[in-house]
Amino acid sequence: MFGPAAATHTGVAYFAMTAEETAAEITNETTTAEAPAAEAPVSEVASQETPATKKRKLSAAELMSFFESSQLKTDLPDIYVGDTVKVGVRISEGNKERIQPYEGVVIAKRHGGMHQTITVRRIFQGIGVERVFMLHSPQVASINVERRGKVRRAKLFYLRDRVGKATRVKQRFDR
């Protein structure tokens, strides 16, 4: 990921990269300044130490933000509390893998970014079952919004006390 220039010293990673190379690595773009260096032999590149190529210590926050940005899913729909969603969950049984749908009402959303979660509630054989899904987890194969719900609260925990038709949420048509 960061190339052979990485070296560790007491558990801290140091990288011999310029600021431009670091920015290009993080954004996955190649700059034109890297092209001549790639054509030169390795011994010549190693001997060309300039003040701009000093070893720069990447902070833990920079490393974590780079990793998290690479793991974020980009194809997620807009999910709101009250929506009825169908979540495709990856299930591995032995050496086989399948996707099992889980459909229910989103009763809560928490956190943001990489750690964003939704709580989905459904009624299974007369018993309320809730599952918490991390949206950017590899275990979540797909999320489809089946219908939009019209609610006036951020959390729908009051649905836990309701039974039957009282658990219905009005449908919203403007989103």
pLDDT per 10-residue tile (average), the chain, 175 residues? 47 49 54 47 55 76 91 95 98 96 98 95 95 96 97 96 94 90
Q: What CA–CA distance (Å, rounded) separates 152 from 170? A: 11
| Contacts of residue 107, Cβ cutoff 8 Å, sequence gap at least 6 | 81, 119, 120, 121, 130, 155, 156, 157, 159
* Strand pairing class (127-134; 117-124): antiparallel
Give the pLDDT confidence of 102-122 residue by residue, as tens digits: 999 999 999 999 999 999 999
